Homo-oligomer: A and B are copies of this chain.
Amino acid sequence: MLGKDYENQDCALARALEVVGERWTLLIVRDAFYGVRRFNDFQAHLDIPKAVLSDRLAGLVDEDILERRPDPQHAGRHLYELTPVGRDLWPVINALLAWGGRHRHTNSRLFRHATCGTRLDDAGRCPQCGVTPAPGDIVTERRRGRGRGRRDPVSVALREPHRLLEPLET
């Protein structure tokens, strides 16, 4: 991805940024957590040029963050899904969401612990249970009182409360 650009930084941060530090990459990973799996759905939701999306998806597959597999329902199509390494990026996404929500722009979504319904704090912990739920145990819903926002079918489908990683139905 960023190639050898940060090569002489002996630092895990530089290694991480070589993988997820490019433009668009973390937004693609965010959508994957929200349940997006198909090329066109990523494209509709992100307004990203197809050539760049194609390049980023291939890079994420190379880096073992997404897995590309045939869509069992549609021959010739593919699904992109987070691998365990990719799912392990949730704390990164969550930290950026929390910072952005505190200092730039109130977060348009909120996150609850699926098993008890309590809202998670900024660190991603459930104050009720004292645990930090894995993404599959987190329900996301749209915060009320916001404008209608985007009208593309993917955005509309994502407005329904659902668990992270749960495949989006369109």
Measured CA separation A22–B18 after assembly (Å)? 12
B47 x A8 contact (CB < 8 A): yes
- Please, could you name 16 A-B residue pairs with CB atoms under 8 Å apart, sorted by A? A8-B150, A9-B46, A10-B146, A11-B107, A11-B109, A13-B100, A16-B96, A16-B99, A16-B100, A17-B26, A85-B103, A88-B99, A88-B103, A91-B95, A92-B96, A94-B95
How far apart sit A147 and B8, CA to CA, in the bound complex (Å)? 13
A58 interface residue (CB < 8 Å to B)? no
Q: Does A128 contact B (CB under 8 A)?
A: no
* Interface membership of A153, Cβ < 8 A: no
Beyond A85-B103, A91-B123, 14 additional contacts (C-beta under 8 Å) are A9-B46, A10-B150, A11-B97, A12-B100, A12-B107, A13-B27, A15-B104, A16-B97, A16-B99, A20-B96, A88-B103, A89-B99, A91-B95, A91-B99
A69: interface (CB < 8 Å):
no
Tell me how many chains of this kind the complex includes.
Answer: 2
The total of chain A residues at the interface (CB under 8 A) is 51
**Bound complex: CA A84 to CA B31 (Å):** 30
Contacting B at CB under 8 A, from A102-127, are: 102-109, 122-123
Nearest residue (CB) in B for A5 is: B23
> What is the CB-to-nearest-CB distance from A60 to chain B, in angstroms, rounded to a whole number?
13
Closest to A125 in B: B123
User: Do residues A100 and B27 form an inter-chain contact, with CB atoms below 8 A?
Assistant: no
Chain A 59-95, CB-CB to B under 8 Å as 1, else 0, gives 0000000000000000000000000010011011111
